[in-house]
Amino acid sequence: MKTLYVKFVVLTIGMMFISFIFSFILSNAYYQQKLKPYNDSKNTKVALDIASFVEQHPQISLADYLKSISEVGYQICLVDEHGKRSFFGKSFRDKSLPLSIQEDVLGGRVFHGMLLFPQETFVTGFFADELKNTIGVPLKADGRSFALFIRPDIKFLFNEMHILFGWIFVIAITLTIIMVLIYTKYLVKPISTLTKATKSLANGDFNVEMEITRHDELGELSHSFLWMAKKLSQMDEMRKEFISNISHDIQSPLSNIKGYTSLLESEAISQEERIQYVSTINGEIRRLSTLTKQLLLLASLDRNEDMMKKKRYNAGQQLKELVRNYQWIVGEKEIMLSYSLPDIEIIGDPSLLNTVWDNLLSNAIKYNKPNGSIEISMEERADIVLVTFADTGIGMKNSEVDRIFERFYRADMARTRTVDGTGLGLSIAKTIVDLHGGHINVKSIENEGTAFIVELPKK
């Protein structure tokens, strides 16, 4: 994670540097287009005012006057008719100036050195301490002609500001880098924690703990990670329980088959016992066959294979046919079965949905009480169809209802030990309903009964 930390810091500082370069380029464009002509015009006016004042007051000393002007923040060069130069104020760093320019100014022309100063110097041209970077105006004093070149003494005018802005710039950059380092560490810390937690998950340790105090995207990611770890832990427990249950459910009938087969080898058993043992073996074989078929169906549903063959069909007629098939066992157990099944068409897989109805009805029969009742109903509501299987059976506790759709889960084995089952039927039913875009809900009261409500979209 140090690599991400370093990358973030380098990228942030790099963006700051690039932003500075672009800002400098934009500032230079503004200086060249706006500030440079304005600065030239302003200083031209000052130079012309100085020349005008000298010409209007011939009694003053030109040297003393120019010296006083230089002391308020100007660099001045005075050139006479013979090319002799006199400097007032701070000396120019570069005193070179073409002779033609001097002659033009002595001849009465104004020299706009600030405006004509090379543009490739960027905004730094404003600070160029060169004689070429001046304003030149003609001046007459004592009957003689002069060329007056002036420019503001930038260091004199802005020396304290240079220092102030320099310190501001240095402090701002330093504080920005420090804050970037601190904030980046704060930003990357939860990612480092997530990395450690991920390694723990990879090693099979699902009991990860993370202190989450953030409310941004990283905080949301951490909450999602903890939720995922919890789900993985539950899935791992379910996997272990699944393996344990399926091993038991396969081993138990195999042990019974082996035991009864050994008994059949004995010549001492009677014909009646032999028939009973064979019937028991066949029952265990059917149990294994049912378990195998359910496991194959569940595996296919889990892989979400293209096994659904949807079509429009009459679900009411399908349920009526199922009820007719169970009439004999309902009568045998003396259970009263009533139903309200209007002709309602839905779009779905008839075979898979029949598995759902068959499982719910068989459970209602298995877990019912003697002389109990079962009520099946179907009704339309807007774009959905509700199918309800309600019985007056043994019911379930709330803790059992929460787990009823888990694979191989059987509610209170002490109460249901006489009832055959694999513990996969309701899990298969829920998976099929989910694949149809529906929902299956359970309402149950212990010792009073259970109702399964299947909600399916009509389209």
The answer to whether 375 and 208 have CB atoms below 8 angstroms apart is: no
The answer to whether 281 and 261 have CB atoms below 8 angstroms apart is: yes
Tokens encoding 202: 């990879």
Q: What is the pLDDT of residue 422?
A: 63
Q: What is the pLDDT of residue 143?
A: 85
Going 365 to 371 to 372 to 375, the CA torsion angle's sign is positive
Q: What is the pLDDT of residue 109?
A: 94
Q: What is the pLDDT of residue 414?
A: 38
Mean pLDDT of the chain: 82
pLDDT digits (tens, 9 = 90+) for 172-195: 888 888 887 777 777 777 777 777
Q: Which domains does the chain have, with CATH numbers?
A: 2-159 (3.30.450), 217-300 (1.10.287.130), 309-457 (3.30.565.10)
Q: Give the distance from CA 115 to its chain's centroid.
A: 54
Q: What is the pLDDT of residue 415?
A: 41
pLDDT digits (tens, 9 = 90+) for 403-448: 888 776 665 543 443 345 567 788 888 988 988 889 999 999 988 8
pLDDT digits (tens, 9 = 90+) for 333-346: 889 999 999 999 99
Nearest-10 Cα torsion for 331, 335, 338, 339: -80
What does the alpha-carbon distance between residue 137 and residue 79 come to, in Å, rounded to a whole number? 11
What does the alpha-carbon distance between residue 94 and residue 75 come to, in Å, rounded to a whole number? 12
Terminal CA-CA length for the chain: 50
Splitting the chain (459 residues) into consecutive groups of 10 residues, what average pLDDT does each group show? 66 80 79 84 92 90 91 91 91 90 92 81 71 92 91 73 69 82 75 78 74 71 81 76 71 82 83 86 82 74 70 92 89 90 91 90 90 93 91 88 76 44 79 90 91 90
Q: What is the pLDDT of residue 391?
A: 94
User: What phi and psi values does residue 391 have, to the nearest 5 degrees?
Assistant: -130, 170
Report the DSSP pairing between strands 135-141 and 111-112: antiparallel
> Among residues 107, 111, 112, 127, which one has the least CA distance to residue 28?
127
> Among residues 37, 67, 69, 63, which one has the least CA distance to residue 50?
69
The answer to whether 346 and 374 have CB atoms below 8 angstroms apart is: no
